[in-house]
Amino acid sequence: MSLLADSTGGETVSARPRHHMVALVVENKAGVLARIAGLFSRRGFNIFSLAVAPTEDARFSRVSIVVDVESAPLQQILDQLDKLVNVVHISELHPDAAHEAELLLITVSAREEDRPALEAAIAHHGARLLEANERAVTALLAGDPAALDSFEEAVRPYGIVELQRTGRIALRKLGAAGDAP
Amino acid sequence: MELTGAQALIKSLEAQGVEVLFGLPGGAILPVYDPIIDSSIRHVLVRHEQGAGHAAEGYAQVTGRAGVAMVTSGPGATNVVTPLADAMMDSIPLVVITGQVASASIGTDAFQEVDTRGITMGVTKHNYLVTSADDISDVVAEAFHLATTGRPGPVLIDFPKDVANARTTWREPGPVDLPGYAPPSVPESAAVQAAAELIAAARRPVIYAGGGILKANATAALHRFVNLTGIPVVTTLMGRGAFPESDPRWLGMPGMHGSYTAVTAMQQADLLVALGTRFDDRVTGRVDAFAPRAKVIHVDIDRAELGKVRRPDVPMAADCRAAIDALCDALAPLGLGAERLAQWIATLEAWRERFPLTYDRDSGTGAVPGTVKPQFVLEELRRLTPPETVLVSGVGQHQMWAAQFWRFEEPRSWVNSGGLGTMGFAVPAALGAKVGRPDKMVWAVDGDGCFQMTAQELVTASAERIPVKVAILNNAYLGMVRQWQHMFYAERYSEVYLSPDLPDYVRWAEAMGCVAFRVSTPEEVEPTIEKANEVDDRPVVIDFRIDSMEQVYPMVPAGASNDDIVVHPSQSGLAR
């Protein structure tokens, strides 16, 4: 699972049609993440990204999984996940019906002569400069995954030293069809 | 009422109506073994933890209730993993309790510590690690609820020693609170209507009935459905007994070693009514060539089975009995006439007449004249035992011969390892079946390879006075592997020879407290079975020396289309 390798193909990762956002509400019990990960592993399903954290209700956590659907039909993945006793609710969130967000931290090489252009790119994409020294800068960008892709591509020519993305999270849009958990 | 966690566990099992535990104690589970002395629950002390799990499976299969096994931590837990996987594959309700090291020691590589919950996640319907003695009654109630409802399966409770020793106050379990668990029950009426239309329109329909019929207690509903529609039935390996096999509308078992008529009926069908079955690869053969012209109605209580292998035209996530009842109600007013299927039934009859299950009764290729044919043993056993006899088998050639040459008239009279194919299943499962149904005669048909894996449970059977009967079909080979090497590896027999005499099965069985016989000629078959049938106070073993080169026919080679079914050599020239 390499975001960098995928991105260098010129393809924006978040726009690939075989990726689907699966939103789960799970009971906040020990081992739940292992059950989900184990299910993906033994059924040969692929996780592209995964984000998990407690919700406003301490009994439940929300899990956002971007699944790679080339490996199995999406419905089969949903049905198998739904069989996990600790999975309380499961739905696929279509990009048009959901707010999606992701967080990116990136450290980029910054030679003296590149610095003005690099800082302009950071400002242009609405990223925040966290730290800079004579060799590199570190920036943060939160927002739409496609905007993160575009920022990542814009600074790539300067040389990415390190990068961490959180994976997508999503909530259903107000008024969007489907049963809200 | 103040009590220990261990006492609360036993009390919780009693509250669930548990009548028997199959188990073997050890360090971490020691506290739980103390209150067993004072409990109404019978404990059967097995000789290996795998035996405890399979015995609980056999018990569950014949009674329809959850089987319960209890073992210690570490190796006790890992030894029970195979039965858990077996029960998961065949949807058998089990509750397995494993001891665990004390909570404070978890994660320290303590003596006899393994990550039981982690290891068993993939082979259980759900599992628990109990963290507080106050939770015990709720956890046990949830475990039994999960094991026995929806698609049944194994549930494991890992029970740390400090939790067993902790003091708690007894309270009755609250209502089961599982917000993520709601198995479907009744089918959607639109699906019922769509299915009824397909059924009414079909001219070459087949009912493809699986183990789900038995789990849903839907045999009577199935019978009504067949009476109403006249549609012929195939029953899978796990579904045997779901439909009486003396009924002319029963076509046999489908699959790799199914009957020609059952296999070919599905291939030629224009509609499959799949009820509680999962399109297993041993049934479908090559999936893209399976029943190519058939529309599919698929009923299963596990929604994930609908479309997992074959996309159904009408999927119905529902309890089998509720779905069949709904279909009957929708179809009854239509008054389906029998003549609509007359041509199809005639075709099936012709196949059945031309391609019956058969074997060389005298001397097949390579057979020594006078050797005992395994199929003959099965036919004689069927003839000489009561109709309601429970038959249990291991895995391999003997299992397929048993499935082919036995006739099941009643539900829950056939116990075997279908999905996982667990060699060594028969002896402990037969023991459990006999405990569950002491009123019935229980025969295990086993292979010599299988028998050597779990025979020690006959010591358990002798010690506990559980009079099971075991027919070893001793061909001195790992027979099914040898058959594949014969057919697909140019008769290069690699590591499959076992010897008929090592061990000496008669002396071994006698050493384990059994009555034992050896049968070497066809003439001895009947009198020896009759002698075995008369023994009712201890286990009996018959070492049947069978023709070692006998093959299982028909056979669909692995990965081949069911159209390429290989029939018995005596039938291979016949027009299909």
Residues of chain B with CATH 3.40.50.970: 2-169, 374-545
Residue whose entry in the numeric block shows the structure tokens 């010599």: B448
For strand B42-45 and strand B67-71, is the pairing parallel, antiparallel, or unpaired?
A: unpaired
- Distance, CA of B83 to CA of B389 (rounded, Å): 24
Q: Do B303 and A79 touch (CB under 8 A)?
A: yes
Q: What is the pLDDT of residue B324?
A: 98
Min Cα–Cα distance to chain B from A38, Å: 7
Q: Which chain B residue is nearest to residue A88, measuring alpha carbons?
A: B180
Domain extent listing, chain A: 3-93, 99-169
For residue A17, the 8-state DSSP code is T
Q: Which chain A residue is nearest to residue B151, measuring alpha carbons?
A: A83
Q: Which chain B residue is nearest to residue A81, measuring alpha carbons?
A: B304
Residue B576: pLDDT band by 50, 70, 90 thresholds? confident
Q: Do A30 and B129 touch (CB under 8 A)?
A: yes
Residue A10: pLDDT band by 50, 70, 90 thresholds? very low
Q: Do A83 and B121 touch (CB under 8 A)?
A: no
Q: Do B146 and A85 touch (CB under 8 A)?
A: yes
Is the sign of the CA dihedral A31, A34, A39, A42 positive or negative?
negative
Q: What is the pLDDT of residue A176?
A: 78
Q: Do A73 and B180 touch (CB under 8 A)?
A: no
Classify each residue of A73-106 as buried b or exposed e, where b means 16 or more C-beta atoms within 10 Å of its C-beta.
eebbbbbbbbbbbbbbbbbbbebebbebbbbbbb
- Distance, CA of B123 to CA of B125 (rounded, Å): 7
Q: Do A87 and B117 touch (CB under 8 A)?
A: no
Q: Do domains A3-93 and A99-169 have the same CATH topology?
A: yes
- Distance, CA of B128 to CA of B100 (rounded, Å): 12
Residue A178: pLDDT band by 50, 70, 90 thresholds? low
Min Cα–Cα distance to chain B from A101, Å: 26
Averaged confidence pLDDT in chain A: 88
Q: Looking at domain B2-169, what is its CATH homologous superfamily?
A: Thiamin diphosphate (ThDP)-binding fold, Pyr/PP domains (3.40.50.970)
Question: Rounded to whole angstroms, what are the CA distances from B207 to B269, B297, B317, B512?
Answer: 10, 10, 17, 45
Chain B CB contacts of A39 below 8 Å:
122
Q: What's the rounded mean pLDDT across residues A57-62?
A: 95
Residues of chain B with CATH 3.40.50.1220: 189-354
Averaged confidence pLDDT in chain B: 96
Q: Do B307 and A75 touch (CB under 8 A)?
A: yes
Q: Does domain B374-545 have CATH number 3.40.50.970?
A: yes
Q: What's the rounded mean pLDDT across residues B261-277?
A: 98
Residue B367 has pLDDT above 90, yes or no: no
List residues of chain A with CB under 8 Å from any CB of chain B: 26-27, 30-31, 34-35, 38-39, 42, 73, 75-76, 79-80, 82-89
Q: Do A83 and B179 touch (CB under 8 A)?
A: no
Q: Nearest CB to A79: which of B126, B146, B304?
A: B304
For residue B372, the 8-state DSSP code is B
Counting residues of chain B whose pLDDT is more than 70, the rounded percentage is 98
Residue B85 has pLDDT above 60, yes or no: yes
Residue whose entry in the numeric block shows the structure tokens 């014969």: B486
Residue A12: pLDDT band by 50, 70, 90 thresholds? very low
- Distance, CA of B234 to CA of B260 (rounded, Å): 11
Q: What is the CATH number of domain A99-169?
A: 3.30.70.1150
Residue A68: pLDDT band by 50, 70, 90 thresholds? confident
Residue A14 has pLDDT above 90, yes or no: no
Query: 3-class DSSP state for residue B19?
Result: coil
Q: What is the pLDDT of residue A16?
A: 58
Residue B575: pLDDT band by 50, 70, 90 thresholds? confident
Q: What's the rounded mean pLDDT across residues A140-164?
A: 96
Residue A180 has pLDDT above 80, yes or no: no
Q: Do A76 and B308 touch (CB under 8 A)?
A: yes
Question: Rounded to whole angstroms, what are the CA distances from B496 to B26, B483, B485, B493?
Answer: 36, 10, 9, 6
Q: Do A85 and B180 touch (CB under 8 A)?
A: yes
Residue A18 has pLDDT above 90, yes or no: no
Among B3, B4, B9, B1, residue whose Cα is nearest residue B137: B9
Classify each residue of B230-246 as buried b or exposed e, where b means 16 or more C-beta atoms within 10 Å of its C-beta.
bbbbbbbbbbbbbbbbe
Is the sign of the CA dihedral A37, A38, A39, A44 positive or negative?
positive
Chain B CB contacts of A82 below 8 Å:
303-304
Residue whose entry in the numeric block shows the structure tokens 């726009």: A15
Q: Which chain A residue is nearest to residue B116, measuring alpha carbons?
A: A31
Consecutive H or E run containing A138: strand A136-143
List residues of chain B with CB under 8 Å from any CB of chain A: 117-118, 121-122, 125-126, 129, 131, 146, 178-181, 302-304, 306-308
Q: Nearest CB to B180: which of A31, A42, A87?
A: A87
Among B324, B321, B323, B303, residue whose Cα is nearest residue B312: B303
Min Cα–Cα distance to chain A from B158, Å: 13
Residue B172: pLDDT band by 50, 70, 90 thresholds? very high
Looking at domain A3-93, its CATH class is alpha beta
Q: What's the rounded mean pLDDT across residues A61-71?
A: 90
Q: Do you know the residue count of chain B?
A: 576
Q: pLDDT tens digits, residue range A82-108?
A: 999 999 999 999 988 999 999 999 999
Report angle CA B478, B484, B485 to the nearest 5 degrees. Answer: 85
Phi, psi of B516 (to 5 degrees): -140, 145
The residues of B carrying an active-site annotation are 49, 111-112, 161, 480
Model ipTM value: 0.92
Q: What's the rounded mean pLDDT across residues A43-63?
A: 94
Consecutive H or E run containing B479: helix B479-488
- Its CATH architecture, for the domain B189-354, is 3-Layer(aba) Sandwich (3.40)
Q: Is the peptide bond before B554 cis (omega within 30 degrees of 0)?
A: yes
Q: Where are the beta strands (DSSP E) in B385-539?
A: 390-393, 414-415, 442-447, 469-474, 515-519
Q: Which two tokens stand for residue A115?
A: 């610095």
For residue B243, the 8-state DSSP code is S
For residue A70, the 8-state DSSP code is T
Q: What is the pLDDT of residue B323?
A: 98
Residue B285: pLDDT band by 50, 70, 90 thresholds? very high
Q: pLDDT tens digits, residue range B315-358?
A: 999 999 999 999 999 999 998 988 999 999 999 999 999 999 99
Q: Nearest CB to B121: which of A26, A34, A75?
A: A34
Among B328, B268, B277, residue whose Cα is nearest residue B306: B277
Chain B CB contacts of A79 below 8 Å:
303-304, 306, 308
Q: Nearest CB to B180: which of A27, A30, A38?
A: A27
Q: What is the pLDDT of residue B1?
A: 87
